[in-house]
Amino acid sequence: MNETSPPVFPEPGAPVPDFDMAASRGRRVSLSALRGKPFVLYFYPKANTSGCTKEACGFQEALDALGKEGVTVIGVSRDDMPAIEKFADAQGLSFPLASDATGEVTQAYGVWVEKSMYGRTYMGIERATFLVDAQGRLVQAWRKVKVTGHVAAVMKAVNALHAGG
């Protein structure tokens, strides 16, 4: 592995890294509080950008169906809380959007990566989603997510989790 490779994320079945973050509407989200419930933890680069808005709205639209399966959705970015609150309010997002202001969670999940745009390299969040079971173990990870069709793929995995469980 070379120096620019992100940390190796746990294989399916392995425990996911711990987290505890401030979230929209005065909430907190933590791995310990979610124990006993499956959840989707998705990382997005920046609030109020087109791809992130489309992805967030897709999860919002699927919230009832995911909720019927007992699955909680949490979005994570490194934006500060005012930007996150503005985004949540503007899009009518009822699920928690968490602020990883310190970068500890994005590092732990291996989604803080070197990116490139217009010939310039910089560090940023790789769009990624993690489906975690009720015991806090990784079920499935989606890396370098393309927004179109992504929520449907997550829903399919959630349905498979419950069909097999």
The residues that bridge with 73 in the sheet, in sequence order, are: 40
Residues 6+ apart with CB under 8 A from 131: 38, 39, 40, 138, 139, 140, 141, 154, 157, 158, 161
Residue tagged active-site, from 34, 40, 47, 52:
52
The answer to whether 145 and 57 have CB atoms below 8 angstroms apart is: no
The answer to whether residue 57 is catalytic is no
Task: Return the number of other C-beta atoms located less than 10 Å from residue 72's C-beta.
Answer: 18
The residues that bridge with 120 in the sheet, in sequence order, are: 117
> 46 is written with which tokens?
């920046």
132-135 contact pairs (CB < 8 A, 24+): 132/16, 132/34, 132/38, 132/39, 132/40, 132/41, 133/38, 133/161, 134/35, 134/36, 134/37, 134/38, 135/35
Active site residues: 52
